[in-house]
Amino acid sequence: MLTVATTGGDLSSGEEAPASPAARLFNVPGLKCYIIAVMGCKTRIDPGVVIEGLKHTLIKHPRFSSILVGEKNNKRRLRWIKTKVKVEDHVIVPDINPEMESPEKFIEDYTSNLTKDPMDFSKPLWELHLLNVKTSDADAVGIFKIHHSVGDGMSLISLLLACTRKTSDPDSLPTVPEQRKQSTNSSWKRFWWVFMAIWSGLVVMVNSVVDILVFAATMSFLKDTKNPLKGDGGDNSVRVFIYRTISLDDIKLVKNFMNVTVNDVILGVTQAGLSKYIYRKYGENKRGDKMTEIPKRMRVRAAVMANIREVPGIQVAAGMTKRIVSNTTMTFSNIVGPLEEISFYGHPIAYLAPSVYGHPHALTLHFQSYINKMTFSVAVDPDVIPDPHQLCNDLEEALKIIKIAASEKSLIQPPLCQSVLYY
């Protein structure tokens, strides 16, 4: 997700507060981003229960009970102004034909149509659409649409989880994985810990220098190779959203055998799946009229925007961001979720699938873990990637191939590590 820190004034102590640099950035033309979070539920959703729950939780957060306005003398200088919220105006419950032929296609089209409708800035910048339609993996679906100026992906997912409770214990908040600290009781372990800490610090310094150089080069001249995933950087906000759920246990199997992290496995699966998709597209073109040849060296990179703080000017930050996005191919993120089943105001959740749109990238890929599952969301510009289902198939197939390879090797030699889930 376009993960951006949103530090700004606190409305709990007053009626107004200046918008943060990130909030202003996400209102610049070409970067007006919105978060779409699809939430599948195992039961039909009762709108009255959800509305009552939101009144006691979500709207107590300042950003969900304030409007974003420009100052009279300078419309670019935005401020949050606290307002009275009528929750019923933000919860949309459309009439749905229960006999529809393809519920999945209906959800896909409904979510895509949300990207075509502008948000009303005279109200707090969020909506919740409740669709009581049964799909193959849920009995009902809730779709949050939130302007990205309200918060970054991590903070909004955390806020959403704060509105949920464990299904097994309705009074308890969800539990998320934490990295386990290694014991350093013995002198040898303490020495090894100090050595690894120093070595890790040096590696971080070197990698940081390399990252800074690559960032500067990307902002100046280093562009990704032309490929079937890369758009022209146009300001087309219409997106199609597809999501699939895979086994987190399969990812952990590969992780444990390779002695890496969940992030490493996900990146490997993404690279393999995208490579499969790209090479198929070049093969199709070669058999057609275009006779497009596969580049000998192909550069395909993902961008993650993070920690936007005070800068000399928001237009400078916007210009830098647009150049980075234009010179790269896609946006990528991975967000850790709860370890146990949770309920949204009494409605057990089957899966969570967050995404984002409004930035120039034609492809955005998000991974969201939940219990023993991993849901990945693909948001595409249909003019650039007209077959997102095939792309999802390639990502699933990539995980299967990697899992089979790891399973076969594990029969020959034991895994390098049997550790808990790390991110």
Distance CA 145, CA 181 (A): 37
The residue from 148, 347, 361, 366 that is catalytic is: 148
The answer to whether the CB of 270 falls within 8 A of the CB of 365 is yes
Q: Is 147 a catalytic residue?
A: no
- CA nearest 111: which of 75, 135, 88? 135
Helix (H, G, I), strand (E, B) or coil at 194: helix
Helix (H, G, I), strand (E, B) or coil at 208: helix
Distance CA 122, CA 181 (A): 48
Structure token pair of residue 274? 């995208």
Distance CA 142, CA 338 (A): 18
Length of the chain: 423
Termini Cα distance of the chain? 16
The answer to whether the CB of 140 falls within 8 A of the CB of 347 is yes
- CA nearest 422: which of 262, 248, 265? 262
In 153-232 the beta strands, taken as DSSP E runs, fall at 164-166
Structure token pair of residue 18? 């200046």
Phi, psi (degrees; rounded to nearest 5) at 13: -110, 5
Distance CA 70, CA 88 (A): 26
The answer to whether the CB of 41 falls within 8 A of the CB of 347 is yes
Helix (H, G, I), strand (E, B) or coil at 360: coil
Strand partners, 68: 80
Active site residues: 148
